[in-house]
A and B are shown apart, each in its own frame.
With several copies, the nearest count.
Chain A
Amino acid sequence: MNAALKLGDVREAIKPVVFERDLQIISNVQVNGEYRQMVLKAPREMLEQCRAGQFFHLLCPQLGGENPYLRRPMSIYGFYPDKGELHFLYKVTGEGTRALAHLGAGDTLNVLGPLGRGFTIADNWQHLVLVARGVGLATLAPLALEANRLGRKLTAICSARSDDVLMSVHYFRSLGANVVTVTDAEGTSSIENLEAIIEGLIAEEGVDAFYTCGSNRILRLLQRIGEKHEIPGEIALEQQMACGLGMCHCCVRPFRKEDRVVNLRVCREGPVFDMQEAMPW
């Protein structure tokens, strides 16, 4: 599936590999002031297609006076073929996510996916460093699971406003990741401090790849460090979506490709892109 969705190979994929399904909700609870976690019961065939970095397109219900029309994209926060579970971590920001928050155990949610191209972990990448802020952690979490499965070393640098919104620290630690937390409250989340931490990691342990998502400032920093030390990286990006499948071309972002700027679809060529090709916005 992942292969079939890679840029350029699209045309070979004519066997249905994306599922539209009504899934039953196991739980949907507040995990802290801003985020909610939803756990769905999902069929094995669907979960086995999932890759870290991919997303689902959720048909948010018409509930509580909310009338979302388009689907809403949500990263896979966790997928467990053995348990038959699919997890999302989301922030309530508008009509669609407010409607999602109204769902409870036993309700159904229509999902479409898995969609898009996930993260790459090359065979010779031993030490992976991820830098994430806010809900970006939802997108990067399954990468930690995958790194753990492949027996790679992972350092997760988690940035947040203050300690109590630091997401998933416990989760990353439970997978044996080295977790570094920086917060605005403590004044440790500045780009300078981040740079010092990362340069320290490179000097002391060596770093094979960077992963991030969301923040413009972090992207610039990692592009600079990556270029300097020739360390590859990937970034997961967001853009408003209609179809989620690559048909409508609404979700494009500009990328640097061989001296040209090209528009690529976040839902199809992404949401994970080469970090050096990404353009700060």
Chain B
Amino acid sequence: MVDLTVDVGSLRLKNPIMPASGTFSEDLADVFDLDLLGAHVTKTITRGWRDGNPTPRVCEVSGSMLNSIGIPSKGVGYFIERVIPFYKRYETPLVVSISGNTADEFATLCSEVSVDGVAAIEVNISCPNIEEDGKAFAIRPSSTFDVMTKLRKATHLPLWAKLTPNTGETPEVARAAEDAGADALVVANTILAMAIDINTRRPKLGNLMGGLSGPSLKPIALRMAYQCARATKIPVIGCGGISSVEDVLEFLIAGATAVQVGTATFIHPLAMPRIIDELAAWLARHGYSSVKDVIGSVIDDEQKAGVVFMEAAP
């Protein structure tokens, strides 16, 4: 028997596979037993009611998708009353994703959801923020540090910072989050993108632009996960385009302690339980007794460390 458990800071997970925020809900219980998962991660909520963005909210691009769901939210009251109790029936720890328009509102929500039944809080610092001209907190190290400092003070629960790929300063942002007390980094959210219908000449998304997710994002997210694992000492949770056990292994080898599966669940609702099985089988076949043995096992010659912190190509 292969040991699939991993430790994300103080939180032990029975396996490193969990859903990505916004691509998972109670509804998936219709398809398989959610207790199979390493963690449950909810869709981001805000304090108050939000409608979300105009439709169409998704569109297809070459082998991947764009979304501009926005963050429709029924508010924190509904969430605490209706959603948290649902997940209490499971053993799997619940991770609550939150966001706010301002750092203070964000911090208030953070303390409000620090309740029984919640194992960790994922802070989605990759969505637009009105105090920074609509830039996400996680675009700049300074705004990352400021908001994380406030969030850190607002809760004693483990705090996972979810980073954005829409930045040229990934390692610096990662270190800012670590310095401000993040317990883990979720790497990464979607990257801003666009598609236009050439027949109607209208953007394919009602919101003009949206986030790219799915296989196209994987090489970018993997690079970021690697950069974050090298730049910080806190656990990294890889996310972006993961749809197979091979993808999971790529992130673990790069240094991720666990991974989130997002868009792949839309295509194959059973992707996560299947990957968990295949991960155990792969590790067994390759003679590993614990998944921990592959984490960070990338062979990157030390002289190349300098390259790691570049944010440019070629």
C-alpha spacing A248/B27, complex, angstroms: 10
Not counting A68-B60, A247-B27, A252-B57, a sample of 7 additional A-B residue pairs whose C-beta atoms are within 8 angstroms of each other reads A70-B60, A240-B59, A242-B266, A245-B30, A248-B266, A250-B57, A252-B52
**Residues of chain B in range 258-313 having any CB-CB distance to chain A below 8 Å:** 263, 265-270
A16 in contact with B72 given A70-B266, A240-B58 (CB within 8 Å): no
Write the B49-85 contact mask toward A (1 if CB under 8 angstroms, else 0). Answer: 0011001111111111101010010000000001000
Chain A residues positioned under 8 Å from B268 (CB to CB): 20, 59
Chain A residues positioned under 8 Å from B58 (CB to CB): 70, 240-242, 248, 250
Question: Which of B67, B89, B265 sits near A250, CB closer than 8 Å?
Answer: B67
C-alpha spacing A252/B52, complex, angstroms: 10
Q: How large is the interface on A (under 10, 10 to 19, 20 to 34, 35 or more residues)?
A: 35 or more
Chain B residues positioned under 8 Å from A70 (CB to CB): 58, 60, 65, 266-267
Question: Which of B55, B69, B89 sits near A248, CB closer than 8 Å?
Answer: B69
Q: Are A10 and B26 within 8 A (Cβ)? A: yes
Identity of the chain A residue whose Cβ is nearest the Cβ of B213 in the assembled complex = A242
Q: How far is the CB of A202 from chain B (nearest CB, A)?
A: 35
Q: Are A16 and B62 within 8 A (Cβ)? A: no
Choose the segment among B17-25, B118-126, B247-255 that binds chain A (4+ C-beta atoms closer than 8 Å): B17-25
**Residues of chain A in range 19-44 having any CB-CB distance to chain B below 8 Å:** 19-20
Q: Are B60 and A239 within 8 A (Cβ)? A: no
Is B116 close to A, CB under 8 A?
A: no
A253 in contact with B55 given A69-B214, A71-B266, A243-B266 (CB within 8 Å): yes
Identity of the chain B residue whose Cβ is nearest the Cβ of A19 in the assembled complex = B31
**Residues of chain B in range 1-49 having any CB-CB distance to chain A below 8 Å:** 22-34, 43
Q: How far is the CB of A238 from chain B (nearest CB, A)?
A: 11
Residues of A within 8 A of B (CB): 4-5, 10-11, 13-14, 16-20, 59, 67-71, 95, 112, 239-253, 263, 268
Q: Are A69 and B64 within 8 A (Cβ)? A: yes
Q: Are A13 and B267 within 8 A (Cβ)? A: no
C-alpha spacing A246/B25, complex, angstroms: 8
C-alpha spacing A244/B265, complex, angstroms: 11
C-alpha spacing A99/B72, complex, angstroms: 33
Q: Are A16 and B33 within 8 A (Cβ)? A: yes
Q: How far is the CB of B198 from chain A (nearest CB, A)?
A: 14
Chain B residues positioned under 8 Å from A263 (CB to CB): 51-52, 72
Q: How large is the interface on B (under 10, 10 to 19, 20 to 34, 35 or more residues)?
A: 35 or more
C-alpha spacing A5/B27, complex, angstroms: 9
Chain A residues positioned under 8 Å from B34 (CB to CB): 14
**Residues of chain B in range 143-183 having any CB-CB distance to chain A below 8 Å:** none
Give the tally of cross-chain contacts (CB within 8 A). 110
Q: List 25 A-B contacts (CB under 8 A).
A: A5-B30, A14-B89, A18-B269, A20-B268, A20-B269, A69-B60, A69-B61, A69-B64, A112-B269, A242-B266, A243-B23, A245-B27, A245-B28, A245-B31, A247-B22, A248-B266, A249-B43, A249-B52, A250-B56, A250-B57, A250-B67, A251-B57, A252-B57, A263-B51, A268-B27
Chain A residues positioned under 8 Å from B263 (CB to CB): 242
Chain A residues positioned under 8 Å from B265 (CB to CB): 243, 247
Q: How far is the CB of B53 from chain A (nearest CB, A)?
A: 10
Identity of the chain A residue whose Cβ is nearest the Cβ of B30 in the assembled complex = A18
C-alpha spacing A109/B289, complex, angstroms: 37
Identity of the chain B residue whose Cβ is nearest the Cβ of A17 in the assembled complex = B30
C-alpha spacing A22/B182, complex, angstroms: 43
Top 6 A-B pairs, shortest CB-CB distance: A246-B27, A250-B57, A250-B58, A18-B30, A14-B29, A247-B25
Chain B residues positioned under 8 Å from A59 (CB to CB): 267-268
Chain B residues positioned under 8 Å from A247 (CB to CB): 22-25, 27-28, 43, 265-266
User: Which of A71, A251, A252 has most chain B Cβ within 10 Å?
Assistant: A252
Q: Are A20 and B55 within 8 A (Cβ)? A: no
C-alpha spacing A82/B43, complex, angstroms: 41
Q: How far is the CB of A243 from chain B (nearest CB, A)?
A: 5
Identity of the chain A residue whose Cβ is nearest the Cβ of B24 in the assembled complex = A247
Question: Which of A20, A241, A242 sits near B31, CB closer than 8 Å?
Answer: A20
Chain B residues positioned under 8 Å from A19 (CB to CB): 31
Chain B residues positioned under 8 Å from A239 (CB to CB): 55
Q: Are B270 and A20 within 8 A (Cβ)? A: yes
C-alpha spacing A239/B266, complex, angstroms: 16
C-alpha spacing A253/B57, complex, angstroms: 11
Chain B residues positioned under 8 Å from A248 (CB to CB): 22-23, 58, 67, 69, 266
Chain B residues positioned under 8 Å from A16 (CB to CB): 29-33
Identity of the chain B residue whose Cβ is nearest the Cβ of A67 in the assembled complex = B63
C-alpha spacing A68/B82, complex, angstroms: 36
Q: Are B63 and A69 within 8 A (Cβ)? A: yes
User: Which of A13, A14, A268 has most chain B Cβ within 10 Å?
Assistant: A14
Chain A residues positioned under 8 Å from B89 (CB to CB): 14
Chain A residues positioned under 8 Å from B30 (CB to CB): 4-5, 13, 16-18, 245
Q: How far is the CB of A72 from chain B (nearest CB, A)?
A: 10
Chain B residues positioned under 8 Å from A250 (CB to CB): 55-58, 67, 69
Q: How far is the CB of A93 from chain B (nearest CB, A)?
A: 13
Identity of the chain B residue whose Cβ is nearest the Cβ of A247 in the assembled complex = B25
C-alpha spacing A249/B51, complex, angstroms: 11
C-alpha spacing A65/B266, complex, angstroms: 19
